[in-house]
């Protein structure tokens, strides 16, 4: 009994930030129903209390993360290696900004559950990074998916929100089933669900011909995780879901699932066999190469055809998943200074700041009765809301990869590691990345043109939303700071 208790205590010690987040989630879910009347009415300003409580929960989790130390990987259900440490910090920082964006997105009666779902999603991302077992990895991924279904519907319950939730729900459970199917083959091959045991088992079988089940497992797991990355051909839910979702939900969907997807992909593929005659990563590289190229082209070309700003940003999110896949395909290869994984983590961090900032500006322009939807809604924004127009322009330029923005540094790193990866496949990836960056510039410039070269034809929201403005300021500061002083982020990445 003492050994069991000691093992449980040691496991909990590795996930104290997530325990703090989930405790806050339970507290909100238990208290929120008692503060709402039978008619669904709540005291005015209740959303502010839930917002502050969410920030306190995130702050406690951030403090526990700051005092944690990277530890050797053991045999328990959790790990705290360099990757888990980095992803935990990234998700907590993005979670803080998302709470601010979400502050006024739901009515007072629904704000508590909305913020609780967001905190549960952040805890799920952290647990994906900390998982040391494929069962725990799958459960952590579902801890992201299930609250997302509720998160899609809680702020708004109109027809568009319901359609978004149903589409995401149906495709999400299909992708989860596909992923679980691949994991079951991996378990059947190795006889264990523990990641280190899986690595050792596959390493021991290197001298034999690659079993067909390894191919099936790799393909099914890539297919299941490609949904979270919005990689082609598992991207088609994105435009409809982004169009109908509230701004805070769209901001979360554009970034958080990508973090979880790439981390899970790395756990099950990239380090399965570090060397040898064959590996799941070498088997998967050609498939991932084509996924990267198709995702970049499909995302950018379809974005050119959109007249709804959310659908355009959804396809933009698809194209950026392709850019990140470039870093994953390059892997340990790259320049002498950085590898493809380093460039991926840097770009993922940069992308979080600029995409959440973009949706935060849309939240600042929307009201409870009207939200920015068509591109024409941005006409003359520089005249009606000049501060928002400047911030949105800065985020769009960063998404475009223009100089003097963090997006430029991120894309440049991906280009260089692909070009210097030591093969024609990597150089072709670099060429396609450059071509797609040029294509993407067209629709980003289209939004900027509408803001500065058109006259206002519709009235945008003028409501004061301090929390959203703080979120925009933090995203602007991060996007600017990661261009001017990226060294601190590189130092954190080196710990991975």
CB atoms within 10 A of CB 298: 19
Three-state secondary-structure class, residue 368: coil
Q: Between 284 and 127, where is the model more confident?
A: 127
The band of 338, judged by pLDDT with boundaries at 50, 70 and 90, is: confident
User: Which of 481, 495, 348, 318 lies closest to 413, judged by CA?
Assistant: 348
154 or 287, which is more confident? 287
Q: What is the pLDDT of residues 162-218, one digit of tens each?
A: 777 888 888 888 899 999 999 999 888 888 888 888 888 887 766 677 778 888 888
Number of other residues whose CB lies within 10 A of the CB of residue 475: 29
Res 282 pLDDT > 80: no
Q: What is the pLDDT of residue 369?
A: 63
| Spatial separation of the C-alpha atoms in residues 198 and 444, rounded to whole Å | 44
User: What percent of the chain lies above the pLDDT cut of 70?
Assistant: 92
The pLDDT, as a whole number, for residue 360 is: 92
pLDDT of amino acid 156: 67
CA distance 327 to 342: 8
State residue 52's pLDDT score: 92
Residue 480 neighbours by CB under 8 Å, 6+ apart = 394, 405, 406
pLDDT in tens, 398-444: 999 888 889 999 999 999 998 988 778 888 999 999 999 999 999 99
Least confident window among 52-66, 279-293, 392-406: 279-293
Confidence label for 488 from pLDDT (cuts 50, 70 and 90): confident
Tell me which residue has tokens 């979360």. Answer: 252
Q: Read off the pLDDT band of 299 (50, 70, 90).
A: very high
Q: So what's the pLDDT on residue 263?
A: 93
- Tens digits of residue pLDDT in 15-48: 889 999 999 999 998 988 888 777 767 777 788 8
Burial status of residue 438 (CB atoms within 10 A of its CB: 0-12, 13-18, 19 or more): exposed
pLDDT at 330 over 70: yes
What is the secondary structure of 295-332 as a DSSP string? HHHHHHHHHTT--BHHHHHHHHHHHHHHHHHHHHHHTT
What does the domain layout of the chain look like in residue ranges? 12-34+47-494
| Contact of 224 with 176, CB cutoff 8 Å | yes
Which among 305, 250, 282, 321 is positioned nearest to 98, based on CA atoms? 250
Backbone phi and psi for residue 133, each to the nearest 5 degrees, phi listed first: -155, 140
Q: Tokens standing for 129?
A: 């990074």
Q: What percent of the chain has pLDDT over 90?
A: 40
Tell me what pLDDT residue 316 has. 93
Q: Is the per-residue pLDDT at 99 higher than 90?
A: yes
Average pLDDT on 312-336 reads: 88
pLDDT on residue 236: 83
> What pLDDT is stored for residue 276 in this prediction?
56
């Amino acid at each position: 009994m003492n050994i069991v208790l000691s093992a449980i205590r040691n496991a909990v010690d590795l996930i104290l930030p997530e325990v703090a987040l989930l405790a806050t989630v339970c507290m909100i879910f238990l208290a929120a129903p008692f503060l709402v009347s039978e008619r669904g009415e709540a005291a005015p300003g209740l959303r502010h209390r839930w917002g502050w409580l969410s920030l306190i929960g995130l702050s406690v989790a951030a403090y526990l993360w700051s005092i944690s130390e990277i530890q050797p990987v053991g045999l328990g259900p959790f790990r705290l290696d360099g990757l888990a440490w980095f992803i935990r910090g990234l998700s907590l920082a993005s979670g803080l900004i998302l709470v601010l964006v979400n502050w006024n997105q739901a009515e007072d009666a629904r704000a508590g559950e909305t913020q609780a779902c967001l905190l549960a999603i952040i805890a799920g991302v952290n647990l994906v990074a900390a998982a040391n077992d494929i069962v725990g990895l799958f459960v952590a991924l579902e801890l992201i998916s299930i609250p997302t279904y509720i998160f899609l519907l809680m702020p708004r319950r109109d027809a568009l929100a319901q359609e978004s939730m149903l589409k995401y729900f149906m495709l999400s459970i299909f992708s989860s089933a596909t992923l679980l199917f691949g994991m079951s083959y991996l378990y059947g091959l190795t006889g264990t669900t523990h990641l280190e045991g899986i690595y050792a088992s596959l390493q021991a079988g290197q001298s034999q011909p690659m079993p067909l089940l390894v191919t099936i497992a790799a393909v099914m797991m890539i297919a299941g995780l490609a949904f979270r990355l919005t990689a082609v051909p598992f991207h088609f839910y994105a435009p409809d879901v982004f169009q109908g979702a509230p701004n805070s939900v769209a901001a979360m969907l554009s970034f958080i699932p990508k973090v979880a997807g790439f981390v899970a992909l790395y756990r099950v593929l990239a380090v399965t066999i570090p060397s040898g005659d064959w590996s799941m990563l070498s088997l998967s590289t050609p498939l991932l190469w084509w996924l990267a190229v198709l995702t970049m082209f499909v995302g950018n070309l379809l974005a050119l055809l959109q007249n709804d700003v959310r659908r355009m940003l959804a396809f933009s999110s698809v194209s950026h998943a392709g850019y990140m896949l470039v870093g994953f395909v390059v892997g340990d290869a790259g320049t002498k200074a950085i590898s493809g994984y380093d460039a991926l983590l840097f770009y993922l961090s940069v992308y979080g700041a600029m995409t959440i900032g973009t949706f935060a500006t849309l939240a600042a322009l929307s009201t409870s009765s009207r939200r920015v939807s068509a591109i024409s809604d941005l006409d003359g924004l520089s005249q009606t809301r000049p501060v928002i127009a400047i911030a949105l322009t800065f985020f769009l330029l960063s998404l475009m990869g223009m100089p003097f923005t963090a997006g430029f540094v991120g894309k440049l790193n991906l280009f260089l590691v692909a070009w210097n990866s030591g093969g024609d496949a990597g150089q072709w990836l670099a060429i396609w990345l450059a071509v797609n960056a040029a294509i993407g510039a067209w629709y980003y410039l289209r939004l900027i043109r509408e803001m500065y070269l058109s006259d206002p034809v519709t009235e945008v929201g003028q409501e004061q939303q301090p929390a959203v403005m703080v979120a925009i300021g933090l995203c602007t500061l991060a996007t600017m700071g990661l261009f001017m002083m990226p060294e601190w982020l590189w130092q954190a990445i080196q710990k991975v």
